[in-house]
Amino acid sequence: MKQTQMRWRLPAVCALWQLLMIILFGVFVRYDEEADAHWPQTRVSHNISSDIENDFYFRYPSFQDVHVMIFVGFGFLMTFLRKYGFGSVGFNFLIAAFGIQWALLMQGWFHSLDPTDGKIKIGVESLINADFCVASALISFGAVLGKVSPVQLMIMTLFEMTLYAVDEYILLNVLGARDAGGSMVIHVFGAYFGLAVTRVLYRPRLEQSNNTSNYHSDLFAMIALGVRIGGAQSAVEEHGGGVHVQNATLAGGVALGTAAEMMLSTYGALIVGFIASTVSTLGFIFLTPLLERYLKVQDTCGVHNLHGMPGIIGGIVGAITAAAATEEVYSAEGLRASFSNRDRMPSVQGGFQGAALCVSLAIGLVGGTIVGFILKLPLWGDPADENCFDDEVYWEVPEEPEPSHSIIISEVPKNSTINGTQAIEHPPTL
């Protein structure tokens, strides 16, 4: 039987990672102006309007929303597995807590390096971006859930955060694509990265008995879905929430608004939501079993349906609406702003959006395959097939306490050696 050797390996990896982070943060990371020590001083002499310009108050509530979603929403959503609730929530914390630090560094090197002193300047916006980066790792986590050890998850996160920063840099800075909702950078990349990893780690004799849900764990996950739908994602699908996403998109200054008066005006958002939710539902029913049987992709949470295909639809819609943008609706200046301040014809921008989608898909698939092979190295304490989807390998699962309801059976045969009180009592049924 395989040893996951959690008792020393995980704490060692965590301590090492954290010490490395402290050193790297010491060398490279400083607060930006808004978090600077001088700020209290200026605050004294200015009224609250200056705080507004400081921009902190505006971004704070959305930071809270994103941050809570990252730390709880994802793991909560995965608690549907009957015996893997601790792993779903706990390893979610692990990925988020360690991933966000590495993401701050990687995104800092690519995006917010101050040329004057060679330091990364971080503020609230950096944290929001790092949260989004971690979101892609949590999406991949959904594909491999229950089948990898926490050390494997940390290795996966390390590489995935790095690739995310590369992918983001290519899409936004090199190709000049717009992706405010993160359809391509977060969802397509994260989903296909995770699917590639789980494909490489294919377990032909995977014990399915633990991979089941029960009533309360399903309810947990259902409520979490509602929170996300209602809150963080605010629901593209089928309830007019498209308007809100549209607004958020515009607020972020994105070219998705291209079609605001054309295809994606209200009913356009409803149509896209209708298609995406239909595709996603049909995917769960028909595609997931086929993926497992023929492509050997064991997608625990169905991230292909939740993130992969909807992400691709989002990318395609973005390309179409960019290509269909007109100066009449947007004005020349507006179009230019929507196209990352590059002088491009709408059809050219549409092409670049399409190319960005392909790049994100490719980096996800190739990167995930390579990382999958790295995770196969016999160093990271991967669980045996029979320990998959089971918290008991990693967590001290509470023993069932003394039963509170008894069944008394009038006679236990005299010569029986059964320990009756132990053997026949019910466990409490909470």
- Per-residue contact flags (x/-) with a copy of itself for residues 351 to 390, judged by CB under 8 A: ----------------------------------------
First and final C-alpha spacing in the chain: 34
Phi-psi category of residue 142: left, alpha or beta, with phi > 0 → left and psi -120 to 50 → alpha:
alpha
Distance between CA atoms of residues 326 and 345, nearest Å: 9
Sole window of 33-41, 193-201, 284-292, 372-380 interacting with a copy of itself (rule: CB under 8 A): 33-41
Which residue is it, tokens 């730390």? 71
The widest CA-to-CA distance across the chain, in whole angstroms, is 95
Sole window of 25-33, 110-118, 285-293, 342-350 interacting with a copy of itself (rule: CB under 8 A): 25-33
- DSSP one-letter string for 309-353: HHHHHHHHHHHHHHHT--HHHH-HHHHHHHTTT----HHHHHHHH
Q: Does 289 bind a copy of itself (CB under 8 A)?
A: no
Residues between 384 and 423 that touch a copy of itself (CB under 8 A)? 397-414, 416-418, 420-421, 423
Amino acid (1-letter code) at residue 101: Q
Q: Does 230 bind a copy of itself (CB under 8 A)?
A: yes
Q: Choose, by CB under 8 A, the member of 2, 9, 13, 31 that binds a copy of itself.
A: 31
Q: 75, 89 in Cβ contact below 8 A?
A: yes
Residues between 84 and 113 that touch a copy of itself (CB under 8 A)? 85-86, 89-90, 92-93, 96-98, 100-101, 104
Q: Choose, by CB under 8 A, the member of 77, 78, 124, 363 that binds a copy of itself.
A: 124
Distance between CA atoms of residues 153 and 149, nearest Å: 6
The distance of closest approach from Cβ of residue 135 to a copy of itself in the complex, given in angstroms and rounded to an integer, is 13
Q: Choose, by CB under 8 A, the member of 4, 107, 112, 126 that binds a copy of itself.
A: 126
Q: Does 20 bind a copy of itself (CB under 8 A)?
A: no
For residue 148, count other CB atoms closer than 10 A to its CB: 23
Q: Does 6 bind a copy of itself (CB under 8 A)?
A: no
* Positive or negative torsion for Cα 297, 301, 306, 307: negative
Q: Does 282 bind a copy of itself (CB under 8 A)?
A: no
Q: Does 290 bind a copy of itself (CB under 8 A)?
A: no
Question: In the beta sheet, which residues pair with residue 107?
Answer: none
Q: 124, 182 in Cβ contact below 8 A?
A: no
Q: Does 50 bind a copy of itself (CB under 8 A)?
A: no
Distance between CA atoms of residues 26 and 29, nearest Å: 6
Sole window of 35-43, 182-190, 307-315, 373-381 interacting with a copy of itself (rule: CB under 8 A): 35-43
Nearer to a copy of itself, 382 or 391 (CB): 391
Nearer to a copy of itself, 31 or 202 (CB): 31
The distance of closest approach from Cβ of residue 396 to a copy of itself in the complex, given in angstroms and rounded to an integer, is 10
